[in-house]
């Protein structure tokens, strides 16, 4: 295996032990990933979520990126420089248990291996989807945001699937169970979103991310190596995330997520295109 050029940078009050542990986790992943490991990776560890928000927003302005949502993530990944970069927020990581923190970092290592070049961050909307959007009364800006949420969900599905294939399982269950938490804020946002077709569509496509993240874990066959308790807890957690939706929206969302997972291949662009086709039924 070619040695990965891993550059770990810190910003703010980051203990040396944290930098060492995160770097060690990335290197261990790349050893396990073998030929799928990237040749070069930059990891930026920031101390506060506010600093992460500012960093991401300023870079989006410089690059003319109009989509939003990743400012609230525990970690973020991109390849705007032509190679994978991961941003980890220590404040958010510290909210997780030790195993879940490792799971979060491994999740980003998977993204850097699978989605480490610019092509995985640029997706286009075909004339077919533009036409469908017009029929459904969706603005182009809404369709662009939906495409962003769909692409993020697909890449999360691929990252979890990849980690499961490399036997990083318990840490992903731990991460999923701690990250996928229903909130009163989500319930309030849904009450407002469902009054407008466009905001409702965006809200539902955003929910595809946690559902597709969890899917490869829930789809694991029963075995002595897989904790049934973990799967039961995670299935219940996904149900809790959707319980405030109406029956029609919840069933449609579950069906769309299932179809996206069933139709997935090893081609990310094909997966995103297929997922957007399925997601258009949510509008």
- Span 75-86, pLDDT tens digits: 999 998 899 999
Considering the domain architecture, whether residues 137 and 264 belong to the same structural domain is answered as yes
Q: What pLDDT, on a 0 to 100 scale, did the predictor assign at position 225? A: 60
Considering the domain architecture, whether residues 168 and 46 belong to the same structural domain is answered as no
In terms of Cα–Cα distance, which of 167, 213, 157, 155 is closest to 32?
A: 167
Q: What pLDDT, on a 0 to 100 scale, did the predictor assign at position 62? A: 81
Expressed as residue numbers, the domain containing 44 is 1-122
* pLDDT band of 112, cuts 50, 70, 90: very high
Considering the domain architecture, whether residues 182 and 91 belong to the same structural domain is answered as no
Considering the domain architecture, whether residues 198 and 208 belong to the same structural domain is answered as yes
Q: Is 122 exposed, middle or buried (0-12, 13-18, 19+ CB in 10 A)?
A: exposed
Write down the mean pLDDT value for the chain: 92
User: Please, are residues 96 and 175 in contact by the beta-carbon 8 Å criterion?
Assistant: yes
In degrees, to the nearest 5, what angle opens at C-alpha 77 toward C-alphas 73 and 79? Answer: 150
pTM of the model: 0.94
The residues near 99 (Cβ < 8 Å, ≥ 6 apart) are: 170, 171, 174, 175
Considering the domain architecture, whether residues 3 and 102 belong to the same structural domain is answered as yes
Considering the domain architecture, whether residues 151 and 253 belong to the same structural domain is answered as yes
Domain end, chosen from 122, 156, 177, is at 122
Considering the domain architecture, whether residues 56 and 156 belong to the same structural domain is answered as no
Considering the domain architecture, whether residues 87 and 147 belong to the same structural domain is answered as no
Considering the domain architecture, whether residues 106 and 224 belong to the same structural domain is answered as no
Considering the domain architecture, whether residues 157 and 143 belong to the same structural domain is answered as yes
Q: What pLDDT, on a 0 to 100 scale, did the predictor assign at position 64? A: 74
Considering the domain architecture, whether residues 106 and 135 belong to the same structural domain is answered as no
Q: At what angle do helices 208-218 and 197-206 cross, to 10 degrees?
A: 30
Domain end, chosen from 87, 122, 157, is at 122
CATH code, domain with 111: 3.40.30
Domain end, chosen from 101, 122, 143, is at 122
Counted domains in the chain? 2
Considering the domain architecture, whether residues 102 and 137 belong to the same structural domain is answered as no
Name the residue with tokens 């930026």. 44
* pLDDT band of 51, cuts 50, 70, 90: confident
The alpha-helical segments, DSSP class H, found in 207-246 are: 208-218, 228-242
């Amino acid at each position: 295996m070619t040695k990965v050029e891993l550059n770990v940078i810190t910003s703010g009050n980051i203990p040396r032990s944290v930098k060492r542990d995160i770097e060690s986790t990335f290197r261990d992943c790349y050893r396990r990933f073998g030929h799928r490991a990237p040749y070069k990776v930059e990891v930026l560890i920031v101390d506060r979520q506010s600093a992460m928000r500012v960093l991401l927003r300023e870079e989006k302005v410089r690059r003319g990126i109009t989509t939003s949502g990743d400012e609230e993530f525990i970690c973020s990944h991109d390849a705007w420089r032509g190679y994978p970069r991961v941003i980890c927020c220590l404040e958010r990581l510290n909210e997780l248990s030790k195993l879940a923190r490792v799971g979060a970092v491994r999740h980003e290592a998977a993204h850097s291996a699978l989605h480490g070049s610019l092509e995985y961050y640029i997706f286009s909307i075909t004339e077919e989807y533009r036409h469908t959007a017009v029929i459904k009364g969706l603005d182009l800006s809404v369709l662009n945001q939906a495409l962003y949420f769909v692409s993020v969900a697909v890449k999360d599905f691929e990252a979890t699937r990849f980690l499961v294939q490399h036997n990083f399982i318990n840490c992903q269950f731990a991460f999923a169970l701690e990250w996928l938490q229903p909130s009163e804020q989500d319930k309030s946002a849904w009450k407002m979103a469902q009054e407008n077709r466009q905001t409702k569509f965006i809200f539902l496509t955003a929910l595809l991310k946690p559902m597709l993240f969890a899917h490869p874990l829930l789809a694991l066959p029963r075995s002595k190596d897989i904790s049934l308790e973990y799967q039961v807890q995670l299935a219940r957690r996904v149900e809790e995330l959707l319980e405030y939706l109406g029956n029609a929206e919840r069933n449609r969302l579950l069906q769309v997520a299932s179809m996206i997972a069933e139709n997935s291949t090893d081609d990310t662009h094909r997966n995103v295109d297929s997922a957007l086709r399925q997601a258009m039924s949510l509008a």
